[in-house]
Structure 1
Amino acid sequence: MLKIDQLELGPIQTNCYIISNDQRECLIFDPGEESAKIEAVVKKKNFKPIAILLTHAHFDHIGAVDDIRDRYSIPVYLHDLEKEWLSRPNLNGSGKYPAVPDYRIKDADILLTNEKKLQISSFEIDVFHTPGHSPGSVSFSFGDEGFAIVGDTIFHGSIGRTDLIDGSEKKLLKSIQDSLLTLPKQMILYPGHGPETTPEQEMNSNPFLTGL
């Protein structure tokens, strides 16, 4: 059975998830900032990080990528459509805000291209391309474990913003309808910000999804 540690990192309180197995190997999702906090959890729990997976490449999800990658010598996974975003502030959004430093992260090590099943050590992950918030947004489903990491595609009672580069409300709603609302009703969805939710809860109460 997998275990989940959740950290809220950086000024926007981005959710970083550390998913660990019985062998204490772990995957780190969206290390947005404050690498020391991530490293503290890894050390305290005697985890062995084996990969970083990014739901997308906006600045608040990538700030600690290089620190964590270099610290543990592990690969970074990102969708191919955002392969240039890590190093370009005008794309990752950091260049949009004067109060935010320009984020320039090294290239991803492994680019995701199609929806597929990933096998990373004992971790079995279904990857869904869920564009709309950004063109290369992906969701990572651990179906046998009953949860998914969904980034900024859907939130508790809301949906991801679509006013950033290459955002599209039409694509976002289609992604939610086709990839997330078709998951088991009680599957736990862990978003990029805020509390967890389920497909059933969002179908019943999310005002943005009325009529889907």
Structure 2
Amino acid sequence: MDNDLNYGEDYKFIPATSVGSGVGIEVMPDLYQYTIQIVNIVLYGNKNTNEFVLIDAGMPKSADEIISVIEERYGPNSRPKAIILTHGHFDHVGGIIELIKRWNVPVYAHSLEMPYLTGKQNYPEPDPSVSNGLIAKMSPLFPNEAINLGDNIETIPSDGSIPFMPGFRWIHTPGHSPGHISLFREKDRVLIAGDAFVTVKQESLYKVLTQAKEISGPPQYLTTDWQAARESVEKLEALKPLIAITGHGLAMNGEELKNNLKKLVESFDQIALPKHGKYLN
């Protein structure tokens, strides 16, 4: 067990919340979305099974909450078979080190995310100029320094399979981060999109607070490659998902999802792109 695990020097609790915080929703019998402050974690695996997987690891200082949610769903002292990271931004790895130390389970991410998860490279600084929304304005407070998971982080298999998630495959959906992945199950067309697109206008404090549902591109203040982000949204829309769980906001399905995703692809510049920002080409 690697004892040199550490978060960046800028790791800290971020005081942001929403009406969804602390709420869990069973989106499918084997998919449970739980909101920690302003971000979602996803649990794959039917209730009370011991064959389950955690997707993403919440906000900073949220490990205890994640553990209690898991034990409530899967029983005392349960632990997942693995943790899958859609990407390594602070709000998706906030409890990861405590969880690794408690469970000693493997963590998987895309190879392009590795520098940010092994202490080698910091993410680019968040860009508060993308929007007048208060969450965007708060973004300079957000941790962006590399965390170091040492030997506990593994590259997700290059054949598209996902350990312990039969039927799902991962799809490289960069833009929001270089190694961002989304997870898709063909048989029922369920998509776990991470932050490739979200269902709440993540820059606006009011909309985040109320969880007002609307399709949006990836959170603008942390997205650094808009051309890749556009192509990722197009790739996901082409899968014609029937249900989408995203990193922020409520799950979307059926006609609402179909129409909204189509609209996002057709009007990406208007809906997703910031009007200005240092990462716009």
C-alpha distance after superposition, 1:20-60 (max 9, x if no partner):
13633211111123111111122222144111000011111
- Distance in 1, Cα, partners of 2:187 & 2:56: 22
1:138 matched residue in structure 2: 181
Structure 1 or 2, whichever has the larger Rg, is 2
Cα deviation per residue 1:135-175 (whole Å; 9 max; x = unaligned)?
1000011223431211110122110145547x211111111
Q: Deviations over 1:171-212 (max 9, x none)?
A: 11111112x112234x211111011224513234434278xx
- The match for 2:72 among 34, 44, 62 is 44
Q: Secondary structure of the residue that 1:38 maps to in structure 2?
A: helix
Equivalenced residues, count: 203
Q: Tell me the residue number matched to 1:127.
A: 170
Within 1, Cα distance between the matches of 2:94 and 2:250? Answer: 21
Q: Would the aligned equivalents of 1:85 and 1:92 in 2 still touch at CA under 8 Å?
A: no
Give the equivalent residue in structure 2 for 1:154: 197
Which secondary structure state, in structure 1, belongs to the residue aligned with residue 52 of structure 2? strand
CA pair 92-44 structure 1, distance change in 2 beyond 3 A = farther
Matched, 1:3 2:35: no
- Distance in 1 (CA, whole Å) between partners of 2:44 and 2:122 is 31
What is the 5 A alignment of 1:1-212? 2-10=29-37, 13-21=38-46, 23-33=49-59, 34-45=62-73, 46=75, 47-86=78-117, 87=119, 90-91=122-123, 97-98=140-141, 100=143, 104-107=147-150, 108-112=152-156, 114=158, 116-120=160-164, 123-156=166-199, 157-161=215-219, 164=222, 167-178=224-235, 180-185=236-241, 187-198=242-253, 199-206=257-264, 207-208=267-268
The higher relative CO (CA closer than 8 Å, separation ≥ 6) is in 2
Alpha carbons of 1:104 and 1:119: their partners in 2 closer, same or farther (altered >3 Å)?
A: closer
Give the Cα–Cα distance (whole angstroms) in 1 for the partners of residues 144 and 172 of structure 2. Answer: 29
**Unpaired segments of 5 or more residues in structure 2?**
1-27, 127-138, 200-214, 271-281
Q: Give structure 1 stretches of 5+ with no counterpart.
A: none
What secondary structure does 1:135 align onto? coil
Task: Decide whether the 8 Å contact of 1:58 with 1:93 is kept in 2.
Answer: no
The offset of 1:131, in angstroms, is 0.6
